[in-house]
Structure 1
Amino acid sequence: MRLVLAVLFSLVGLSAQAEDRWMTIPKPPAMPEAASSGMAPVNGIEMYYATFGAGDPVLLIHGGLGNADIWANQVIDLMKDHLVIVADSRGHGRSTRTAEPFGYDLMASDYLALLDHLKIDKTDLVGWSDGGIIGLDIAMNHPERLGHLFAQAANITTDGVDPAVETDAVFGSYIDWMSAEYAAKSPTPDQFGAFVEQISGMWASQPNWTDEAVAAITVPTAIVSGDHDEAILRAHTEKMAALIPGAELVILPDASHFAMLQAPEEYTAAVRAFIDR
């Protein structure tokens, strides 16, 4: 394991406000104009997707309760020289869901089917939270589809989640924001509670991978965390990086579970430093 401390900014002259930026969740800018977008029929759902730019592909997968638009800062930068793909996971944002129980294998299958729909054989993947877990699932089961995996704020067993997240004010503000986003974007805008109940069944028992399964990952992987992550225990993050052969451990300073919004320039620089190497 190589330890990479991502101090990508000068510490000189930082204000108290900058040091505490992990205490708020800035809203992203508007998404740029997409090169293409639509609803892909995958595994019995209609999955919203959009693509931007051209070049080597990179797939950005958002976290639980979120949607693709959270990635606007990264899309604006990466689309300069990459084909950037974003989507709303099943039941999230503009995508539909079925009564089928949520599971990471199923959600990974959704994204692989989306790549097939877009005729993309192999891509780099940047995943945040549930998106990082989906990325790890693909890396374990379909490594031929990935060039690099940048997995931020993921876990491999349920005991990697910090129980204190349930009462964390910053995380609570994210849930409130996503409730409003769901009402504005979802084809079932009045069903946020039912959606949360359905996905919570997955979170209660998944992921639950063995150390041996994680250690078998061959995809070049960065395991990434903000140094103030509210949801994932640091020891668990460090264990993940130690298990995966050759994995890099990237700690983003003064950032939390929502680092892509709190430190967008540093976050995107860390992504580029890994996938464009």
Structure 2
Amino acid sequence: MFRAALIAGVLLVSSPAIARSEPVGDRVEVNGMRMYYETSGEGDPLIVLHGAYMNIRTMGEIIPALARSRRVIAVEMQGHGRTTDIDRPITYPNLADDVAAFMQAIGVKKADVFGYSMGAAVGLQLAIRHPEKVDRAALVSIAYDFQGWHPDYRAFVPQIVPELFVGTPMEAAYRELAVDPKGFPALVDKLIALEHEPMAWKADVAKLKTPILIIQGDADIVDHAHTLAMFRLLGGGVMGDQGKPLPQSRLAILPATSHTAIMGQTELLRALIEPFLKGETPRGWAEPQAK
């Protein structure tokens, strides 16, 4: 069932995007790999980080949508898309360090971050390990501990084997773009190992000063209690209308939305992300109204 849902999600987000500005692709040497990235739009920089088995194309229409108001820099991480693989495990800290080194290599000192799934965990680790490089982070389907995943997903993880990915759209997408078209099995092995990587980042999350927007579906792979706990660690969960500014971090739960359905809701995501990145807050009755 999960395999079918994942394939459907990849097919959805890999449909042709409606381009608002023609992206410009380039490569840069980062930590022993040639990292591919694309830049589109103008304005303040926004780093976009894809999910596992994905690439820039399969992120779909969210990139051109966000590029309407921002300079979007979409990255393909280790072994994904057109970025080369190296003899090193894929871990969240490793990928976060890669993104930090990438930013330095292209001359971006600080940026906002938008990450989905694996990319969200990388974005969270980037904020933890390199807080000076992250202004604000919008993270979709994020957990800070393995126990935070939905119980059904935690039960499924031991069943993830390489054979699940043979002949799938993920394999086809990989072969179309990869520098080494035969490298998909090695990538699968590394990403399966990533699923088993310990995630115990509660103390680190509690120390974060970076404003975080948590986005997830109400039928996502993250447990709702865990999401609320994370929001509270970030200073959220207070009652408004008390004459005090709201916390900088925010929480959004999308209705009737599974993990693979989130990225198909382009305009809803943009409506959530853009005000957050601008620091805009809806005004309540207890707050002074703008004249």
Superposition TM-score tier, normalisation by shorter sequence = 0.7 to 0.9
1:242 and 2:232 equivalent?
yes
Q: Would you say 1:254 and 2:256 are equivalent positions? A: yes
Aligned 8 A contact 2:141 2:259 in 1: yes
Write the letter of the residue equivalent to 2:200: N
Deviations along 1:61-117, one digit per CA (max 9) or x if unpaired, are 111111112333122222222100101110111111112112111101111111112
What TM-score do the two structures reach when normalised by structure 2? 0.79
Amino acid at match of 2:207: A
Shift of 1:259: 4.1
Distance 2:58 2:234 in 1: 28
In structure 1, distance between residues paired with 2:170 and 2:150: 21
Distance change (3 Å), C-alpha of 1:176 and 1:142: same
Q: Which residue of 2 aligns with 1:78?
A: 66
* Match status 1:145 vs 2:147: no
Work out the number of aligned pairs and report it: 251
Can you list the C-alpha shifts for 1:115-151, whole angstroms capped at 9, x where unaligned?
1122111111011111111111111122121111111
Residue of 68, 71, 85 corresponding to 2:56 = 68
Alignment of 1:209-220 (within 5 A): 209=201, 211-220=202-211
Q: Match of 2:254, as an amino acid?
A: L
What value does the CA root-mean-square deviation take over the aligned residues?
2.5
Amino acid at match of 1:85: I
Match of 2:196, SS? helix
* Amino acid in the other structure paired with 2:131: P
Partner residue, 1:6: none
Whole-angstrom distance in 1 between the partners of 2:200 and 2:188: 20
The two structures have a TM-score, normalised by structure 1, of 0.83
User: Larger relative CO (CA 8 A, sep 6+): 1 or 2?
Assistant: 1
Q: Corresponding residue for 2:34? A: 46
Q: Does 1:264 align with 2:255?
A: no
Consecutive unaligned residues of structure 2, counting only runs of 5 or more, are 236-246, 281-291
Which ranges of structure 1 fall in alignment gaps of 5 or more residues?
Answer: 1-20
Please identify the structure whose Cα radius of gyration is greater. 2
Cα 1:24–1:196 change in 2 (3 A) is closer
Change (3 A) 1:94 1:160: same
Aligned-partner Cα distance in 2 for 1:180–1:163? 30
